[in-house]
Amino acid sequence: MEPSHLILICFVCFGGSLLTFFSGFGLGTLLLPVFSLFFDLPVAIGMTALVHLLNNLFKLHLTWQYASREMVFLFGIPSALAAFAGAWLLGVLATDSTLVQFEWMNVSFQTNWMKIIIGSLLVLFAWLEWAEWKTAFSNGKFWLPVGGLLSGFFGGLSGHQGALRTLFLVGTKMSKEAMIGTGVVIACMVDLVRIGFYATGPAWTHIDYPVVGLACLAAFAGAWSGRYFLQKLTLPLFRKIIAALLMVFGLMMVLGWV
C-alpha cells in the first residue's frame, strides 16, 4: 500500500475516533468507505471491525466506570445476540456472486447485492446524522430490547450500530458520561460477536494486519485527544459536510462505482 493511502487511513481513524465522543458518527461509519477503496468489501468490513473493537477496548479503559449495568443488560445482551444474525447475513452476501444490472437516467449500472445493501445503509445512517434525527422513545426502558436487537443486527451486518443505539438510549435520560460508557461496553460486546463470526469466513485470510495496527494507533490517539482536550467542542458544520460525503459515497457503492 502506498504511503499516501496509509496517511489517509490514519487521518480518518484519528478524526473518526475523536468525533465519536461528540457526534452520532461512529469510527466504523467513517472508516469503512476508506478501507473499501483499497480492499474488497468483505475484507474492508472485517478490518473496520478489528479497528473498531480495539479502539473501543481502549475507550473502555477510559470510560467503563460510567457504564450503566442495567442498560448493558437490557440493551447490550439483545444487541450481542442479534449481531450473530447480522454477521451471518453478511457471510451469505459475501458469497453471493449474482450481478445486479439496472438503468438509471439512461445509464446502465452493474453491481451486486452486498454493495447495494451496505451502500444503502451508509446513505441511511449518514442521512440520519445530517437530519440530526435524535428523537428519543419516550418509554425508554420498554423499547430497549427492541433497540438492542435492531442495533446489534445492523452492527453485525455492516458495523452501523451507534446511531440506533443512541436513538434508544437517549430516552433513558442517562448523563452524558453514562451514555458514553454504556455505549462503549455495548459496542465491545457486538464487535466481539461479529468478529468471531467474520473470522470463520474466507475474507478473513486477506486481512492486512499491519494496516490495521497503524489504523488502531491513530484511533487511540483520537480517543485520547477526545477524552482529555475536547470535552465541550461541537462541530455541527463539519458533521454535516461529512454526512453529505458519506451519502455520496454510499450512493456510488450502490451504483457499483466503488
Q: Find, among 96, 103, 133, 147, the residue nearest to 117 by Cα.
A: 96
Hunting for cell 502506498 — which residue is that?
Answer: 2
Distance CA 12, CA 6 (A): 10
pTM for the full model? Answer: 0.84
pLDDT confidence band for 243 (50 / 70 / 90): confident
Q: Are 171 and 143 in contact (CB under 8 A)?
A: yes
pLDDT in tens, 109-164: 888 889 999 999 989 888 877 776 655 555 557 788 998 999 999 999 988 887 78
pLDDT at 106 over 80: no
Distance CA 55, CA 18 (A): 11
Question: What confidence score (pLDDT) does residue 145 get?
Answer: 92
Residue 133 makes CB contacts below 8 A (sequence gap 6+) with 167
Max mean pLDDT among 129-133, 150-154, 166-170, 203-207 falls in 150-154
Q: Detail the DSSP E strand segments found in the chain.
A: 99-104, 107-112
| The dihedral sign for the CA sequence 86, 87, 92, 97 | positive
At 3 the three-state DSSP class reads helix
Alpha-carbon distance of 21 to 180, in angstroms, equals: 7
Provide the number of structural domains found in the chain.
1
**Residue 256: left if φ>0, alpha if ψ -120 to 50, beta else—which one?**
left
Domain range enclosing 134: 3-255
CA torsion sign for 165, 167, 169, 174 is positive
Predicted pLDDT of residue 166: 79
The one-letter amino acid at 30 = L
Compute the mean pLDDT over every residue in the chain, rounded to the nearest whole number. 83
Q: Would residue 10 be called left, alpha or beta, if left means φ above 0 and alpha means ψ between -120 and 50 degrees?
A: alpha
Q: Model confidence over 189-201: pLDDT tens digits? A: 999 999 999 998 8
Residue burial 148-180, b: 16+ Cβ < 10 Å; e: rest: bbbbbbbbbbbbbbbbbbbbbbebbebeeebbb
Does residue 17 surpass a pLDDT of 80?
no
pLDDT at 83: 96
